[in-house]
Every structure is written in structure tokens, then in C-alpha cells.
Structure 1
Amino acid sequence: MKTADCDILILPGLSGSEEEHWQARWAGRLSTGRIVEQDDWHEPTPAAWCGRIAQAVAAATRPVILIAHSLGVVAAVEAVPSFAEGVVRGAVFVALPDIERAPGLPESVRAFAPIPRDPLPFPSLVVASRTDPYCAYERAEDFAYAWGAALVDAGESGHINVASGHGPWPEGLMRLAGFMKNL
């Protein structure tokens, strides 16, 4: 599948994606990509975030590819039951946070627990770092397995965000292209 043939919905995590974040850059670079805006990026609620994602998927005029980071991954997986069958054709999930176990997370984030473990009805890719402060690699691997997702070992990449040196993240774009080629 080519990017021109689908609607690419970009789902940031807590606090949104600042201008330098790879998701914001991709939204500007991918002609069919757009960020799904949330009413409150700093005090998320599962119903509101999942509802916004479900609305964006329902409004799509072409097949949908989801690109989620951090809490956006959890919200996307929680929103899956509300998607019409066959609309979402694939998803790339980056830096899943372990909202069930990671220390120091705000209560608003913990409200998204538990993370669903049902197999996803579309192909997906989980990109996980071995040094993500919000999720042990083994936990990301466990969720990828439960979802039926392919797992990409991103090495020692932190939370795969601006703070960990992933501004434009060209390797991620290459992974996205390879993933979409096989859809």
C-alpha cells in the first residue's frame, strides 16, 4: 500500500507531539497524514481519547493506517472494538508505555489500565526500545505477542522521542515504508 492510498492517522501520547517530535514532522511530510487532536493533551481520559480516535477512523475516506506513540498506542488499542471492520488496514505502535507497572505515571494515565491483550484485527508493528523508562522490553514483547504484532527491537533508544534524540527519526520512516509495502 502507498501512503497516497490511505489516511494516515497519527496518535501522539501524553502532552501531544511538540514541533520537533518525529510524529509532528511526519504529519507535515506525509501528504495523507494528520495528527488526531485531543481536547486535553495533559489530563487524558480514556473515553475522550478513544472517542476521538474512533471518530477519526469513522471519518476516513480511504483505508486507515494508525501511527501511535506512547499513550496513543494504548488509546488506539482500546479504541479497536469501535472501528468498523476492515477500515484500519495496519498500525505502527512506537514506545508502548507500561501503564500498569511503570513507576511515576500520572493517575490520568493509569486510568487507561488495563491494556487490552486481544489479538488485533489488522497487521501491526510494535517498535520497542530496550532502555525505554516507561516499559521494559519484555513487557512490550509480551503485548506484541498478544496482539499478533511483529516486534522491532529499537535497541537502546529510550522512549523514542525528542528527549532521546529522535527528532526526524528517518529509521522509523523506513520501517513505516517497509511495513506498508507488505500490506
Structure 2
Amino acid sequence: MTTDTTPTVLFVPGLRDHVANHWQTLLQARLPGSARVPPLEHDKLSCAARVAALDDALARIDGPVVLVAHSAGVMITTHWARHHHRPIHGALLATPPDFEAPMPAGYPTCDALEHNGWLPHPRETLPFPSIVCASRNDPLAAFDRVARMAADWGSRLVDLGEVGHLNPAAGYGEWPEAQSLIDALCGQSPSRPSINVAHSAQ
């Protein structure tokens, strides 16, 4: 276990886990001491199994933590927050999917997601400061739906513009702004921020 007053960054990937050219993977390689929730060997679509994996990863870290979640990792984080009470310094929640609406071909159906515990979306205010980053042309969630999620969670909303799902298929790759958002979360006192809508030019 690690102990430090500087928050440990813990990356929470989506359902596809480790993706070689993903911004989470690239950023983790540059952040000494950061960690990632490991991929599941079984029950890959189970929300409960994903939440348990996040909780296990947190148990290995002693001290403050900033979560950096993308896609379904955001939903894993919000489901985790409903049932666990370990203090979290802050969370960067990038392009959450809208699992309550039909996904594009190749993604799980609403029925499969409900059967595996993902639905309904958590709506409770998160017990830690958070920043939600939303895309204007995300194929997995309409901007207004993500803005509603951010409001429900008590999160600051950052408008990324048209960045698709912020993944390699959309050209990301590197996402330079992630570092500054993580730095902002690491440097703040762990009190709830007010909701603030900001536009981020890409």
C-alpha cells in the first residue's frame, strides 16, 4: 500500500479495459505512482463485478485518491459511490455513456445492461468533488443528457466541443487537457465545488 499526502491518481477504464493508444493509458505511463483498475477475467459486463474491482483497487491505496474515469468507468464510479464510503479527493468523469438510451451497434443492449445491474443510472449527488467532461457529438450520449447527469451528481460541467467519445476512434490518443483537470482536482481542498459550465476549445 502507498501512503502520501499527494493524491494518487486511479484510472477507471470503460468496458474495453486496457486500450493501448487510449489517453488514459498514455497518461498513466507519464504519471509516476498512478494506478489502474485491473481488467476482469470473468463477468465483464457485470456492474457489481466492476464496482468490486474498483473497490479492491482503492483498498490497495492508502491516502487521498483522485479517480479518472472514462465512458462506462464513469458509471462504475457513480455506482461505487452509492454503496461505499471511503473518502475520495475528487473525480474526473469523462464522456459518460447514456445507458438508458439504445447504444450503437456493437455495444450492449439496454436489456443486457439492465440485467447486469447498470440501470437505472445513479442520480444521487456524489460525496466528493467532480468534473464531468461532455462531448457535443458523442455517439454514446447526447450532450443535454450528460449535462443532466452532471447536475444530478453536483459536478462541474466542462463542454469539450465536438470530440466524439474521446477515444482512439475519435482521434484521442492524447488528450492534453486531462492533465490540467487532474491537477485542479489534486490541488483543491476536498470540499464540494459549485457547478460551473465551462467550454474547452480543442
Give the alignment's TM-score, normalised by structure 2.
0.82
Aligned length: 180
Gaps of 5+ in 1: none
In the alignment, the residues of structure 1 paired with residue 139 and residue 5 of structure 2 have an alpha-carbon distance, to the nearest angstrom, of 35
In the alignment, the residues of structure 1 paired with residue 95 and residue 14 of structure 2 have an alpha-carbon distance, to the nearest angstrom, of 10
Partner residue, 2:75 = 74
Partner residue, 2:108 = 106
Give the one of 139, 142, 153 matched to 2:148.
142
Partner residue, 2:199 = none
Gaps of 5+ in 2: 190-202
Partner residue, 1:168 = 174
In the alignment, the residues of structure 2 paired with residue 25 and residue 97 of structure 1 have an alpha-carbon distance, to the nearest angstrom, of 22
In the alignment, the residues of structure 1 paired with residue 126 and residue 167 of structure 2 have an alpha-carbon distance, to the nearest angstrom, of 25
Pairing 1:96-135 to 2, within 5 Å after superposition:
96-104=96-104, 105-107=107-109, 108-110=112-114, 111=116, 112-135=118-141
Q: Which has the larger radius of gyration?
A: 2
Pairing 1:9-48 to 2, within 5 Å after superposition:
9-40=10-41, 43-48=44-49
Partner residue, 2:195 = none
In the alignment, the residues of structure 2 paired with residue 26 and residue 6 of structure 1 have an alpha-carbon distance, to the nearest angstrom, of 16
In the alignment, the residues of structure 2 paired with residue 25 and residue 92 of structure 1 have an alpha-carbon distance, to the nearest angstrom, of 16
Partner residue, 2:194 = none
State the Cα deviation string for residues 62-101 of structure 1 (Å, max 9, x = none): 1111000001110110011343342x11000001000011
In the alignment, the residues of structure 1 paired with residue 71 and residue 172 of structure 2 have an alpha-carbon distance, to the nearest angstrom, of 14
Q: Which structure has greater helix proportion?
A: 1
In the alignment, the residues of structure 1 paired with residue 140 and residue 92 of structure 2 have an alpha-carbon distance, to the nearest angstrom, of 18
Partner residue, 2:188 = 182
Alpha carbons of 1:41 and 1:4: their partners in 2 closer, same or farther (altered >3 Å)? farther
Partner residue, 1:65 = 66
Percent identity, please. Answer: 34
Offset at 1:174? 2.0
Please give the secondary structure, in 1, of the residue aligned with 2:162.
coil
Partner residue, 1:94 = 94
Query: AA paired with 2:108?
Result: P
Give the one of 165, 168, 172 matched to 1:159.
165
Offset at 1:42? 8.6
Query: Quick check: 2:21–2:173 contact (8 Å CA) kept in 1?
Result: yes
